Structure 1
C-alpha cells in the first residue's frame, strides 16, 4: 500500500512536472514570433553582460597574460586595498560625485521642461521641426563637441575670448581654469543630451487621457494648472524610475568627454574613476586594477539603486521593482 502510494505520488509529480514543461513549450510555440523578436536582446545580454561577469574574478587575481585567466595567482583583496589607500582616491570620489551631482541638478530637469514645452506646441509641423533640432546634438560624437568647445572658448582662437579682447578686456582661460571645469562639462552634456532625453517624457505625456484636459478646461483650469495637476502627475512614475536609474550611475562619468576635455592644469578636478581605470588598466597594463575600479563602481551604483528604490517605496511611490 505504501509502495503504491509512493508510486502514485511520483506519477502525480511527474505529471505535474511534465504538464508544466509542456505548457511552457505550448506558450513558446504560441508566441514564437514574440520570442524570436526578443532573441537578439537575449543574446546581447548573455554575450555582453552575463558571460563577462566571470572576468570580475580578475579583480582578486594578479593577472598574467602568459598564465591566463585560470593560471593567474590569487591575491584576494590586494587591489581593493591599493585602490582605497591611493592618495588620489578621495579626490577621484569627490570629482566623480560632484560632476554627477551637477548633472543631476542641472541636466536631469531640462528634458522634463523641454518635453513640457514641446507638448504645449499645437502646430504639428513646427513641433516636429523643434524636436528634430533638439535631438540633433545627441548624434554628434564627443570629439566634435570638444572641438566646438575649443573653437568657442579657447584662450587663443576662441570666439568668446576674441570678443572679450576686442572689448579691451583680458582673455579668460575657460579650458585651463579648474573653477570652470565642472560647469563646462555640465553645459556640454546639457546641450548634447537634453533634447534626446525628452523622448521618454513625450511618450509618457502622449498616454495621458485627453478627456482629463477637456474636463479641466470645462472647470476653468488654465494651461499652467493643467500642466501642474494633470501632466506632471501623469509622468511622475516615469520621472521617479529615471531618477533611480540615474542614481545608479553616480559613480560613472562620461569617460570620452572627460578624456577629451582634461589637461594637466585641471587634473585636480578632472581625475575620476574612469580615467584612473584607463590609466592603470590600459596604459600601465594593470588589468586587475582596472577591473577592480569597475567592480567598485558597480557596487556603489547597486547600493544607490537599492537605497533610492527603498526610499521611494517608503514614500508611497512605485519603484523599479
Structure 2
C-alpha cells in the first residue's frame, strides 16, 4: 500500500495483473491457433521421443554399463572410454577412414549438385529440362539396398562391366568389390549417382529467384554465357553453398552406415570400416555398449564444434551463416 496526496494505490497487484494478462494472451493465442499446433504436434512428438529422450542414454558413455544392472547401478568410469578412442590403434585407423571418406565426398560429391543446377538453369527448352530433372531425381528414391544390389550385379567378377572389358580391351576380370583400392571411389560414385540429382533442388530454387534483368543487362554489356555464370549465377548461389557446406561439416564423421555396411567385406574391411560401422560391430555385436556410446557422443561433439567454427568463419567473411 502506498499513499500519495491522500490516494491509496495497491502496487503489489500490478505485477499480478501483468502476469494474468500475459497468461490470458497466451491461452487466447493457443486456442486461436489450435489447429496449427495440432499439425505441429506429430513432428514435435517425434523429435521429443526419438531424438531428445534417447540422449539421456549418453550417460552410459561414462559407465561400464551392464543391461542387467541398469543405468543407476552400473559402475562409473569417467572418461575411460574416451581415452580409449585416442589410444586404440583400431579406433585411430577407423577415424582416419571416416575422415578420408568424408573429405572425398565433400571434394567430389558436394560440388556436383551445384554444377548440375547451373547446367539445368541454362537449358531453355522447358520440356527437355523437366525430363532431365526427373531422370536425375529418380535414383534418390531407391534404397541403398537396391543401389548396392545394382552395383554388385554390374561390378562382380562375372558381371556386365567385366564382360564388356574382356572382348573390347582383352582385360582380365577386375575384382572391383574385393579390391581395397576401389572401395572409396565406388562409394563416392554411388553417392553422386544417387543423391546429386536430388541435391540440385535447393540450388535450382535459389536460381529461380535471380532477377532476369541482371542477365539482360549483362548481355547488353557484352558478357557471354560463361561471364554471366561467373558474375551473376555463382554469386547468387554463394549463400546457399556456404549454408549447406556448414551443415555438411557437421556430419563429417557420418559416412552413411547403410551404404558402407552393405559394401563391406573381409577384403575391404581395413579401408572401409568407418566410425558408424565400427560402433555397430563393437557396440552391438560385441555388446560393448558404453564404448559404442562414447564414440557416438564423440562424433556429435566434433560435429557441433565444426558447425560453430564454420558458422563463425562464414560471418567473418560477411555471410549470414546458419544462425
Shared fold, TM over 0.5: yes
Alignment partners' CA distance in 1, 2:161 and 2:112: 25
Partner of 1:62: 64
The aligned runs of 1:302-321 (5 Å cut-off) are: 302-321=304-323
Shift of 1:8: 4.6
Gaps of 5+ in 2: none
Q: How many residues align?
A: 318
Shift of 1:158: 2.0
Tell whether 2:164 aligns with 1:160.
Answer: no
Tell me the TM-score normalized by structure 1. Answer: 0.92
The aligned runs of 1:1-321 (5 Å cut-off) are: 8-154=10-156, 156-166=157-167, 167-321=169-323
Tell me the TM-score normalized by structure 2. Answer: 0.91
User: Aligned to 2:318, what secondary structure does the other structure show?
Assistant: coil
Shift of 1:213: 2.9
- CA RMSD in angstroms comes to 2.1
Alignment partners' CA distance in 2, 1:88 and 1:75: 21
Q: Which moved more, 1:212-221 or 1:306-315?
A: 212-221
Gaps of 5+ in 1: none
Question: In 2 relative to 1, CA 70–238 (structure 1 residues): closer, same or farther, beyond 3 Å?
Answer: same
Shift of 1:174: 1.9
Alignment partners' CA distance in 2, 1:102 and 1:265: 21
Alignment partners' CA distance in 1, 2:19 and 2:220: 59
Q: Deviations over 1:52-72 (max 9, x none)?
A: 111111111222222223332
Shift of 1:195: 0.4
Question: In 2 relative to 1, CA 64–311 (structure 1 residues): closer, same or farther, beyond 3 Å?
Answer: same
User: Aligned to 2:255, what secondary structure does the other structure show?
Assistant: coil
Shift of 1:200: 0.9
